[in-house]
Amino acid sequence: MRRAGVIVATLAACAGWIFTLGLAAAAPPSPPAEPALGPLSEITVTGRRGRSEPLAPRTRLGTTDLEALDAAAVDELLERVPAANIQTNSRGETLVFLRNAGERQVAVFLDGALLNVPW
């Protein structure tokens, strides 16, 4: 008997919920409210363009930079390049990731000689 009471109560709650949804759907939409703002006055925006340098798409390390860094390997130099990540794989190859480019999409040259093998 108790189980039947629970089922009846559940059905009554569902019917009430469905009835409420029906009333909300049947209600006519209210007209949009008129804005409480008056007429706008003139707005003037002034500003100055600041000096900005364009972003450089590449980084170049010159002789003075190399001497100042006193790096023993290329990966030590590449640590100074913004957005660069250097990893060494299981074959001993040092792979360079620049600005989300894949490891085989970046060619590294030293005096014109290719140091890695991009695909």
- pLDDT, mean of each 10-residue run, the chain (119 residues): 62 57 59 71 78 66 82 76 79 75 74 72
pLDDT for 24 equals: 55
Phi-psi region of 111 (alpha: psi -120 to 50; beta: other; left: phi over 0): left
Domain ranges for the chain: 63-114
> What are 98's strand-pairing partners?
84
DSSP state of 47: -
pTM: 0.35
**Where in the chain does DSSP place strands (E)?**
84-88, 94-98, 109-110, 113-114
Are the CB atoms for 104 and 93 separated by under 8 Å? no
**pLDDT for the residue 108:** 72
